[in-house]
Amino acid sequence: MVTRIAIAAVLVSIVMIGGCGRENAPSVTQPSGSTQAVDPPGLYEIDETTVRAVGILDRVELEGGFWAVTGVASSDGAESTVIAVIANADTIESELANLRGFYVEVTGRRFDGVSIRMAGPEIIADEVRALEGVIEGDAE
């Protein structure tokens, strides 16, 4: 527990220091330690322009590699289902690497430009937040 808190503190410092020179970089939030009900993996519409991708953050090594929210972690041995590709991941690459394998919520807007990826919908992330809790509908 102490190690996770120390890591979270270091990551928050890195995000704050590293984000100073990056305009429009998404915010990244580490787990808070509180447990609550969270949505199952999926892509959820918030309003006409904003979506939430909920699932496991993973680096998918197809087509040169990309960061995505998936339904199953590739390390679980099952075929990963891409819920959404994070189109602007290059602005927070190291922060995403630290959240790999975490259950996350990525909030942003749909990418409506042209893409070479054929892995799923792409979103431009405004916020990446690690979630801790019980997936709604799961038996305890």
- Where do the domains of the chain lie, and which CATH numbers do they carry? 2-135 (2.40.50)
- Distance (Å) of CA 39 to CA 36, 65, 76, 134, 136: 10, 27, 20, 9, 6
- pLDDT number for residue 134: 67
**Which carries the bigger pLDDT value, residue 8 or residue 125?**
125
Query: 89-95, long-range: CB within 8 Å, 24+ apart, which pairs?
Result: 89/125, 91/22, 91/24, 91/25, 91/26, 92/15, 92/25, 92/26, 92/28, 92/125, 92/128, 93/67, 94/14, 94/18, 95/11, 95/14, 95/15, 95/18, 95/28, 95/128
- pLDDT number for residue 46: 93
pLDDT digits (tens, 9 = 90+) for 1-59: 434 443 433 333 333 334 333 456 676 666 666 566 788 899 999 999 999 999 999 99
Among 33-37, 57-61, 73-77, 83-87, the range scoring the smallest mean pLDDT is: 73-77
In whole angstroms, what is the distance from residue 114 CA to residue 90 CA? Answer: 17
Task: Note the pTM of the prediction, 2 decimals.
Answer: 0.69
- pLDDT number for residue 2: 39
Angle (nearest 5°) at CA 32 between 27 and 33: 155
In whole angstroms, what is the distance from residue 108 CA to residue 70 CA? Answer: 16
